[in-house]
Amino acid sequence: MAGDENFPFDPGASSGGDYGDYGTGGGGSGGGGGGEPRWFSAPQSAGSGRVPPHNLQAEESVLGALLLSRDAIGAVGELGLGPRDFYSPANQNIFDVIRSIYSTSGPVDVVTVADGLRKNNMLDDIGGIERLSELQNATPSVSGAEHYAKIVMDTALLRRLIHTASEITDIAFSQPDDAVKAVDMAESRMFEVAEGRNVDTTRPVQDVLADTMEHLEATYERGDDMTGVPTGLDDLDAILHGLQPNTLNIVGARPAMGKTALGLGIATNVAKATNLPVIVFSLEMAHLELSQRILASEARVDSSKLQSGRLTESDWSKVGLAIGRLEVPLFLDDNPQVTVMEIRAKARRIAAQHGGVGMILIDYLQLMSGSGRPENRQLEVSEISRNLKVLAREMECPVVALSQLSRNLEARSDKRPMLADLRESGSIEQDADVVMFLYRDEVYNEESPDKGMAELIIAKHRAGPTGKARLVFQGHFTRFDNAARQM
């Protein structure tokens, strides 16, 4: 359960707040029948007559334990218990003062907490010092503090679920012409509830270093330096040690360089190597064209033959074998208007079904739209690139985004791309962990001595060296391969 910053419910809010107009009465679990005591005040559920889930006995028990034991304060703090997890505003205020005193290393007891409440003009509101003494004396067991806290957090989670359900209803009413978008938005809200239960991102450096040592030992024992997922392109893997989890990788190129072929080839190789879902979001090509390209590359059959259907007996044999090799978890999405929010929802769904995601490919970044209507395209692309980086962190997988480069580079004598050629926003370079550029000299020079060859220029590598990877381009197969094993 998220703490107070991330939890939108405010039981002390006035009528019409986030959760409507909740009131007392009924009591819910542990709420006690026959009305609430004088100090209790919580808004009422407008119209429904139902009181949101809460457990006052658990709230009182955890507060009493905190007044009796400093160790209990640290224990419930590690669980992520926050003031807004309490249903009663009075209990919220008591907990907040306890936490404030604890954070300054002061003694926490009935006297100091009463003094803190008095200074904030809240002592009478919570029932006076007598109320604090009652909490202390009524606590069943100090050792049960964590258990009581979990009960409080669980009921708070249910209240957040109720609030989210109300939001989803509003979404459905506000999106009458776009049901798919409404479903994706609703799913995203529900995932936020599920993932916000208790996410602690702060860890002691000793724990992190211990994990680092385990990772180093596992890499050493494995006997190779592949710390990420292999792309199948040896020169590239030698520089990057594979595509690393949590990273945003930009592949930039001018049109006709073959960036889609490169992206699909890497996606296929990663799906084979990891047996984890690899999701391709193509805003430019439909399913059929994507699958034909993947099949042509895997079967090494001329892509024009697949389009026309004029295959020889040998071609049919190659296609059949290739289809067998493509029994991998590769997912294709050809929605031309997909947003980062929708990508996030779909990736989460697939990850939940398959135990994770191996890689996400986006073709291509400049075709995406942001979540709103920013003042200009540069701000919109900045938002998209930042959200793609967040997506990589959240899904714990590499995100590869193809990017169109500025045509200004074609005015130079040396047309090899540079970081300045990334179109529309410098934030792409800032957000990316890796920026690489695909360059084929024969696109500009028919007499090029490097016909059939390509350079993958690693211009930015946050975690290591830059450099160049040499590739073979087999255009009739829409395929890039290692220069050392040209076919």
DSSP string, 105-159: T---SHHHHHHHHHHTT-HHHHTHHHHHHHHHHH-S-GGGHHHHHHHHHHHHHHH
pLDDT of residue 37: 47
Q: Verify whether residue 284 is a known catalytic residue.
A: yes
Instruction: Mark whether 344 and 265 lie in a shared domain.
Output: yes
234 lies in the same domain as 189: no
Same structural domain for residues 419 and 340?
Answer: yes
User: Does a structural domain hold residue 215?
Assistant: no
* Helix spans in 326-478 (H): 340-354, 377-395, 427-431
Spot the catalytic one: 130, 214, 217, 284. Answer: 284
Structure confidence at residue 344 (pLDDT): 85
Same domain, yes or no: 198 and 98:
yes
pLDDT given for residue 399 in this prediction = 96
Sheet holding 278-282, edge to edge: 330-333, 278-282, 359-363, 399-404, 248-253, 434-439, 453-461, 467-474, 479-482
The strand pair at 434-439 and 453-461 is best described as antiparallel
pLDDT at 229: 92
Q: Is 456 exposed, middle or buried (0-12, 13-18, 19+ CB in 10 A)?
A: buried
Nearest partner of 459 among 407, 412, 427, 421, judged by Cα: 421
Question: What phi and psi values does residue 136 have, to the nearest 5 degrees?
Answer: -65, -45
Q: How far is CA 277 from the centre of its chain?
A: 16
For residue 255, give its domain range: 227-485
Question: Is 271 part of any domain?
Answer: yes
* E strand or H helix at 247: none
Residue type, 477: F
Question: Domain containing 417 — which CATH number?
Answer: 3.40.50.300
Q: Is residue 211 part of a domain?
A: no
Do 85 and 231 fall into the same domain? Answer: no
Whether residue 297 is found in the same domain as residue 191: no
pLDDT digits (tens, 9 = 90+) for 352-411: 888 899 999 998 888 887 765 556 777 778 888 888 998 999 889 999 999 888 788 888
**Domain-embedded: residue 217:** no
Residues of the chain with pLDDT below 50 are: 1-41, 43-47, 198-199, 487
* Residue 92 is assigned to a structural domain of this protein: yes
- What pLDDT score was predicted for residue 18? 34
User: How confident is the model at residue 44, as a pLDDT?
Assistant: 44
Number of other residues whose CB lies within 10 A of the CB of residue 451: 12
The answer to whether 291 touches 271, Cβ cutoff 8 Å, is no
Domain edge (last residue) among 202, 218, 247: 202
Predicted local distance difference test score (pLDDT) of residue 485: 57
Instruction: State the CATH number of the domain containing residue 98.
Output: 1.10.860.10
Domain shared by 271 and 146, yes or no: no
β-bridge pairing 434-439 and 359-363:
unpaired
Residues 233 and 106 reside in one and the same domain? no
Q: Are residues 422 and 275 in the same domain?
A: yes
Domains: count for the chain = 2
| 69 lies in the same domain as 192 | yes
Residue 191 shares a structural domain with residue 69: yes
Same domain, 276 and 417: yes
Sorted by sequence, the CB contacts under 8 Å of residue 427 that are 6+ apart come out as 381, 382, 385, 386
In-domain check, residue 78 = yes
